[in-house]
Chain A
Amino acid sequence: MAVPVRLEASIPSDVKLLGYVCRLAQETVRLLVEPGRAEPLCAQVDVCLTEAVTNAIQHAHRSDASKPLNVSIHFENGLLTLRVFDTGPGFDIGSVPEPAFDELKEHGRGLFIIRSSMDSLTYLPIPGGNVLEMTKRL
């Protein structure tokens, strides 16, 4: 698709809205790629956006539904860019270790799933908060 796609969504910080945001991203992918390639890409985008939005809601916003969570979905020149904005204190994404694969420990797999599925992942401070950005070439 030659024309860039730019979608912005603002939702309450409530995990009940996870499915809504992820459906939006999946429908965008279906619009952009040929049917034979769409479903595996949809699955990857779905799980990565779910992880990012869940992190922002539960960790950055402490599940405070009064805090708006902003998500953007951009596609231009073959590159899909997903951004999740939060107003939390932030953290150093480089200091998050890989999960302990041989231990039955909860937590620590969300960022690993994103890193394994997308082409790039950054989490940077911006005025008033932070932005987690993920890209994937479609």
Chain B
Amino acid sequence: MGFSISEQDGITVVSVEDRRFDAMVSDQYKTDLAKLIEDGKSKLCLNLAQVQFIDSSGLNVLIFCARSTREKKGALKLACPQPQVRDMFEMTRINRMIPVFPTQEEALRSFA
């Protein structure tokens, strides 16, 4: 599994394809996304439509990406969170620090 990557108007869209975003996959995700950001893809939209479950390991990867993209004068936007993922964003208040959008289109528009 993992994720698929596409480009839209200078924004890199990463679609996560695992149903569980937990410690089983988080180290690999962090490594892969760090490389992407290091390669200059600092405007990132993470599409979470397929993710049914996230834990603190997955949240840590999102925080890492948000910080890394900001350091490169870019941004991380999150799109399409499912109910458990949305609940975790609200519980841990990550949605106050990383913009979250119900659709990918809205997330992409927010970069304008």
Interface residue ranges, A against B (CB under 8 Å): 15-16, 18-19, 43, 46-47, 50-51, 54, 57-58, 99, 101-107, 109-110, 112-113, 116-117
Q: Determine the distance from Cα of A116 to Cα of B24 in the docked complex, in whole angstroms.
A: 23
* 27 A-B pairs with C-beta separation under 8 A: A16-B24, A18-B20, A18-B22, A18-B23, A18-B24, A43-B53, A43-B84, A47-B84, A50-B22, A50-B23, A50-B55, A51-B56, A54-B23, A54-B56, A54-B57, A101-B92, A101-B93, A102-B96, A104-B66, A104-B70, A105-B63, A106-B64, A107-B56, A109-B56, A109-B59, A109-B92, A113-B56
Interface residue ranges, B against A (CB under 8 Å): 20, 22-24, 53, 55-57, 59-60, 63-64, 66-67, 70, 83-84, 87-88, 91-93, 96-97
Q: Determine the distance from Cα of A80 to Cα of B92 in the docked complex, in whole angstroms.
A: 24
Q: Give the contacting residue for A47; candidates B55, B60, B66, B70; CB below 8 A.
A: B55
Q: Report, nearest first, the 6 A-B pairs whose CB atoms are least far apart.
A: A109-B56, A106-B60, A110-B56, A15-B23, A54-B23, A104-B67
Q: Determine the distance from Cα of A54 to Cα of B24 in the docked complex, in whole angstroms.
A: 9
B34 CB to closest chain A CB, in angstroms?
12
Interface centre among B20, B56, B87 (most CB of A within 10 A): B56
Q: Determine the distance from Cα of A23 to Cα of B51 in the docked complex, in whole angstroms.
A: 16
Chain B residues near A110 (CB, 8 Å)? 55-56
Q: Determine the distance from Cα of A43 to Cα of B54 in the docked complex, in whole angstroms.
A: 10
Q: Determine the distance from Cα of A107 to Cα of B93 in the docked complex, in whole angstroms.
A: 14
Q: Give the contacting residue for B63; candidates A15, A16, A104; CB below 8 A.
A: A104
B17 CB to closest chain A CB, in angstroms?
16
Say yes or no: A102 contacts B20, CB within 8 Å: no
Say yes or no: A113 contacts B67, CB within 8 Å: no
A65 CB to closest chain B CB, in angstroms?
13
A104 CB to closest chain B CB, in angstroms?
4
Chain B residues near A15 (CB, 8 Å)? 22-24
A73 CB to closest chain B CB, in angstroms?
18
A13 CB to closest chain B CB, in angstroms?
12
Nearest-CB residue, chain B, relative to A113? B56
